Amino acid sequence: MLKTYACPSDPRSGKFVNPLDNHGYSSYLAVEGFSTLGKEGVMYLNSKTAISHITDGSSSTIMVAERPPLMLGANWGWGWWDSYDEGDVGIGLRNTTLLSGAGTNCPVPAYFGPGARSADTNSYIGNPAGTYDANCHAMHPWSFHTGGATMAFADGSVRFMTYQVGSVIPALATRAGGEIPDPSLN
C-alpha cells in the first residue's frame, strides 16, 4: 500500500498482502452518494461531475471518506482501486447494508461510526484485526482514530469528522440534494 493512501493510525499499515491477487489498497474511498451504486455524489462510476454541478456547495459535499481496508476472505480488501466493482473503490454515506455474516451487534443505522465492537472504550486501536466485525463496517466510513474519521470535501479541504455527526453524514454525500447540514457539527 502506498503510504499516501494509508492512514497512519491503522496499526496494520504496510501489512496488506493478499495471496489471491495484487490490489492497490487504500484507506480512503470515493463518495458515490447514498450507496455504493449511488450517483448523487461527486465521484461515481463514469461520472463527469463539474464544480458547477455541486449546487449544495463544495464546502458541504464530501468527495472522499475514510474507511480502512477490510480483511474479507476472497474479497479480502474492499478498498482497492483497480476494479469495476464499485464497492472496491467507493462508498455510500446513507448505506445501511451489512455484508452477509454480520453479527447482531452491528450499529443501526450504520451511517458513520467506529469500526470495532469495543470502540466504546477505544480498545480497538492496535488490537489484532480479528477483534472487529468487518461485516458490520464495510459499508460506512470509520477509522482507527479515536472519535472520528477524515473526510475530504469538494472545496479541497480535509476535515476530521467526529462520530457525533453521524446523522448529518448522508446530507454531505450529495452534490445537489438541497440539504443544509449544521456546520457546527464538524
Predicted local confidence at residue 81, as pLDDT: 44
Measured CA to CA, the distance from residue 44 to residue 41 in angstroms comes to 7
**66-124, pLDDT tens digit by residue?**
988 765 544 444 444 444 444 457 787 876 656 555 666 666 555 666 654 333 333 33
State which residues form the domain around 126: 1-175
pLDDT score of 56? 95
Name the pTM for this structure.
0.75
Q: Is residue 183 part of a domain?
A: no
Q: How confident is the model at residue 180 (pLDDT cuts 50, 70, 90)?
A: confident
Residue 182 is assigned to a structural domain of this protein: no
On the question of pLDDT at 65 being above 90, the answer is yes
Most confident stretch, 3-12, 41-50, 151-160: 151-160
pLDDT at 130: 34
- Whether residue 166 lies inside any domain: the answer is yes
- What's the pLDDT at 115? 54
Give residue 106's pLDDT: 65
Domains contained in the chain, number: 1
Asked whether residue 181 is assigned to any structural domain, the reply reads no
Percentage above 90 pLDDT, the chain: 23
Confidence of residue 35 (pLDDT cuts 50, 70, 90): confident
- For 6: left if phi > 0, alpha if psi spans -120 to 50, otherwise beta; the answer is beta
Lowest mean pLDDT among 24-38, 66-80, 153-167: 66-80
If we measure between CA atoms, which residue out of 106, 100, 88, 125 comes closest to residue 8?
125
Q: How far apart are CA 4 and CA 25, in angstroms?
A: 11
**Residue 135: inside a domain, yes or no?**
yes
180 belongs to a structural domain: no
pLDDT at 20 over 60: no
Question: Is residue 125 in a domain?
Answer: yes
Assigned C-alpha cell, 32: 458515490
**pLDDT tens readout for residues 112-155:** 666 543 333 333 333 333 345 656 677 778 888 878 889 999 99
* 168 or 3, higher pLDDT: 168
Question: Hey, which bits of 59-121 come out as E strands?
Answer: 62-66, 90-92
Specify if 87 maps to a domain.
yes
